């Protein structure tokens, strides 16, 4: 690689441009202090308020839990998916998707992704359906949803539950409907770097009352009908447990942060969209890089992954960018290559698109505090290195 120069020179040489970060302000800090001052830190009134605001946002009921992985786990459990069952899931996703499946005792069946969206390839998924297949988990990679209609038609054809891993897609719309506002079950993450954060946290959104009731109990160790008391700062002392539960409830500290983030989500989403649009404009027709061509009228991006052309060393490029104060990431190592899932998923897995693309994935910084000048600096350095 030739040493490059940029018209921006060393404008950012003393500034680290982080790949991702939590972006919070005085509103979030003050909200947390109000909770601390009350000296009630568990699941209480703030969780109830956050759930009500989320339910209004989606247009149907949302239940909050401790993180996005717990949301997926509880959603699958509520669908009575367990030992020996199979769940279709794209291999290019964070390990949380696979761990949530194995946590129920079910088997994750790794599927290929579409070339253009890096979302689940429904045609490949259909080939992997067996008599043990009980659910399909599309992952809304980078904020897009791929061919979601066809996934739902596939699920209807084979009578499968659909548990959407929408961790990347908070705020995204599909055919004029919010992701989470339609379909079977949608699960979101509110960890420190998601489109909105509650520090940690997640939620399950569905119209299925049975699933909602099961999740409400299961998040509180299976204690039946305990949620309403928790909202009031009380606890159940005379109770019954009839199903497996987990300590998966959200705290008021988390909810207080989440409420303030949701209150300013219009601003957050506009900033994320603007950054992604600036990337696409600056990258232009660079023949050494491709990226997902999202419609940012609909998609609220969580990350900005790029695909390097053959012949480029991702590791070398990442190291070179780091020398200029630019952090990069890899989203993700395919899960069927992890040693744990080699045991639990099918050994004959061949995923042609996944296997050919993941060595070339390189994610560029995207969060509220990335400016247009930052993007120009990043792209200038990156394209110069590629030359």
**CATH number for the domain that contains residue 327:** 3.90.1150.10
In a 10 Å sphere around its CB, with 0-12 CB exposed, 13-18 middle and 19+ buried, how is residue 24 labelled? Answer: middle
Q: Is residue 349 part of a domain?
A: yes
- Beta-strand pair 202-206/185-189: antiparallel
48: confidence class by pLDDT, cuts 50, 70, 90 = very high
pLDDT at 312: 94
If we measure between CA atoms, which residue out of 69, 81, 77 comes closest to residue 160?
81
Q: Is residue 14 part of a domain?
A: no
- Coil/strand/helix, residue 326: strand
User: What is the rounded (10 degree) CA torsion for 139, 142, 145, 146?
Assistant: -100
Q: Is residue 46 part of a domain?
A: yes
Single residue among 237, 263, 289 that ends a domain in this structure:
263
> Does the pLDDT at position 161 exceed 60?
yes
Burial 101-111 (b: 16+ CB within 10 A, else e): bbbbebbbbbb
| Number of neighbouring beta carbons within 10 Å of residue 319 | 12
The verdict on 283 and 250 lying in the same domain is: no
Quote the strand ranges of the chain, DSSP E: 62-65, 86-90, 107-111, 133-136, 161-165, 173-174, 177-178, 185-189, 202-206, 289-291, 304-308, 361-364
Q: Is residue 345 part of a domain?
A: yes
Tally of structural domains, the chain:
2
Q: Is residue 327 part of a domain?
A: yes
The verdict on 126 and 270 lying in the same domain is: no
The verdict on 226 and 283 lying in the same domain is: no
Instruction: Give, as one character, the DSSP assignment of residue 164.
Output: E
- The mean per-residue pLDDT over the stretch 99-124 comes to 97
pLDDT digits (tens, 9 = 90+) for 188-227: 999 999 999 999 999 999 999 999 999 999 999 999 999 9
The verdict on 234 and 348 lying in the same domain is: no
Question: In whole angstroms, what is the distance from residue 161 CA to residue 100 CA?
Answer: 15
Are the C-beta atoms of residues 334 and 358 closer than 8 Å to each other?
yes
Exposure of 82 in the CB half-sphere (CA atoms within 13 A): 4
| Number of neighbouring beta carbons within 10 Å of residue 49 | 16
Q: What angle do CA 297, 300, 303 make, to 5 degrees?
A: 130
The verdict on 177 and 238 lying in the same domain is: yes
Contacts of 208 (CB under 8 A, 6+ apart): 78, 184, 185
pLDDT digits (tens, 9 = 90+) for 285-298: 899 999 999 999 99
Q: Is residue 166 part of a domain?
A: yes
Single residue among 263, 280, 296 that ends a domain in this structure:
263
Single residue among 245, 263, 281 that ends a domain in this structure:
263
pLDDT at 344: 62
The verdict on 242 and 281 lying in the same domain is: no
Q: Is residue 105 part of a domain?
A: yes
Kindly report the average pLDDT of the chain as a whole number.
94
The verdict on 169 and 300 lying in the same domain is: no
12: confidence class by pLDDT, cuts 50, 70, 90 = low
The verdict on 243 and 375 lying in the same domain is: no
Are the C-beta atoms of residues 376 and 6 closer than 8 Å to each other?
no
The verdict on 51 and 148 lying in the same domain is: yes
If we measure between CA atoms, which residue out of 198, 203, 189 comes closest to residue 75?
203
The verdict on 231 and 282 lying in the same domain is: no
Q: Is residue 286 part of a domain?
A: yes
β partners of residue 304 = 364
pLDDT digits (tens, 9 = 90+) for 307-322: 999 999 999 999 999 9
The verdict on 212 and 278 lying in the same domain is: no
pLDDT digits (tens, 9 = 90+) for 83-111: 999 999 999 999 999 999 999 999 999 99
The verdict on 201 and 294 lying in the same domain is: no
pLDDT at 345: 60
Report the side by side order of strands in the sheet with 185-189: 62-65, 202-206, 185-189, 161-165, 133-136, 86-90, 107-111
- Which region among 4-13, 69-78, 232-241 has the lowest average model confidence (pLDDT)? 4-13
Q: What CATH number does residue 200 fall under?
A: 3.40.640.10
pLDDT at 285: 80
Query: What range does the domain containing 140 cover?
Result: 26-263
pLDDT at 4: 37
């Amino acid at each position: 690689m030739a040493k490059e120069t940029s018209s921006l020179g060393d404008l950012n040489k003393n500034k680290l441009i982080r790949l991702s970060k939590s972006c919070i302000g005085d509103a979030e800090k003050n909200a947390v202090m109000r909770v601390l001052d009350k000296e009630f830190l568990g699941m209480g009134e703030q969780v109830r308020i956050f759930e009500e605001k989320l339910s209004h946002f989606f247009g149907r009921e949302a239940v909050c839990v401790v993180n996005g992985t717990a949301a997926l786990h509880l959603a699958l459990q509520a669908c009575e998916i367990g030992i020996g069952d199979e769940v279709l899931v794209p291999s290019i996703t964070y390990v949380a998707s696979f761990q949530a499946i194995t946590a129920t005792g079910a088997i994750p069946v790794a599927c290929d992704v579409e070339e253009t969206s890096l979302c689940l390839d429904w045609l490949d998924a259909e080939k992997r359906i067996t008599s043990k297949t009980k659910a399909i988990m599309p992952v809304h990679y980078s904020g897009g949803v791929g061919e979601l209609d066809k996934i739902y038609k596939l699920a209807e054809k084979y009578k499968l539950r659909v548990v959407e891993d929408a961790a990347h897609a908070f705020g995204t719309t599909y055919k004029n409907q919010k992701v989470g506002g339609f379909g079977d079950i949608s699960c979101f993450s509110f960890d420190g770097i998601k489109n909105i954060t509650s520090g940690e946290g997640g939620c399950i959104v569905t119209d299925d009352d049975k699933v909602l009731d099961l999740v409400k109990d299961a998040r509180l160790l299976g204690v039946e009908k305990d949620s309403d008391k928790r909202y009031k700062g009380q606890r159940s002392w005379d109770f019954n447990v009839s199903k497996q539960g987990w300590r998966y409830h959200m705290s008021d500290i988390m909810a207080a942060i989440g409420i303030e983030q949701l209150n300013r989500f219009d601003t957050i989403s506009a900033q994320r969209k603007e950054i992604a649009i600036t990337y696409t404009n600056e990258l232009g027709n660079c023949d050494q890089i491709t990226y997902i061509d999202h419609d940012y009228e609909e998609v609220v991006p969580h990350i900005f992954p790029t695909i390097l052309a053959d012949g480029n060393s991702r590791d070398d490029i990442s190291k070179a960018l780091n020398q200029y104060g630019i952090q990069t990431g890899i989203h993700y190592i395919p899960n069927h290559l992890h040693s744990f899932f080699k045991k639990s998923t099918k050994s004959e897995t061949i995923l042609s698109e996944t296997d050919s693309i993941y060595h070339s994935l390189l994610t560029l910084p995207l969060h509220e505090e990335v400016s247009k000048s930052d993007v120009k600096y990043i792209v200038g350095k990156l394209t110069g290195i590629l030359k």
